[in-house]
Amino acid sequence: MPAPSILEVGPGPGHLAVCLLRAIRDARWTGLDIDPAMVAAARARLVRTGLAARSDVVEGDVSALPFADASFDLVVTSFSAHHWPDAALGFAEVARVLRPGGVVLAYDLPAWWARLERGSEGIRAGRGPFPDAVIARRHGVGPVTIVERLEAVRA
């Protein structure tokens, strides 16, 4: 079986990349961030930790992913979808680059936050290309949801 291929959208300085690459010894990780400073920070972290050979960090936008169709086994994103100007387009692109049977895991602030910040649905927009997506409350304070999680598999 080939090594799993992971895409992280909005990796920031690369903390999760290091954890994933250490946990999945044969994985290949690619990070995509719109902020050139975060691209540089993630690259530097991967070099410092000796993981640069199994990783790549590119500058780009989730609404136009610079990858071929069906390129990744897993797409993860943590606390970036509420920043996406068009979350529906972003999740359509995520679906495009996932291999059949591939999984998307997204953690983010709740939909009401995304509507306030960008007028978008945030991770709830993932239900478009992933109609069987499970969206669950992960953390909250009383009745207020603080973090939501989306999990879906590409058909």
pLDDT band at 14 (very low <50, low <70, confident <90, very high): very high
Q: What is the pTM of this model?
A: 0.94
Name the token pair of 33.
Answer: 């961030």
Query: How many distinct structural domains can be found in the chain?
Result: 1
Q: What is the pLDDT, as a whole number, of residue 73?
A: 98
pLDDT above 70 covers what percent of the chain?
A: 99
The whole-number average pLDDT for the span 58-67 is: 98
Better pLDDT: 39 or 143: 39
- Of 6, 9, 10, nearest to 20 by C-alpha is 6
pLDDT exceeds cutoff 90 at 19: yes
| Residue ranges making up the domain that contains 50 | 5-153
The whole-number average pLDDT for the span 130-148 is: 86
Q: Assign 3-state DSSP to the chain and report helix, strand, coil percentages, each to 5.
A: 35, 35, 30
Query: Which CATH number does the domain housing residue 40 bear?
Result: 3.40.50.150
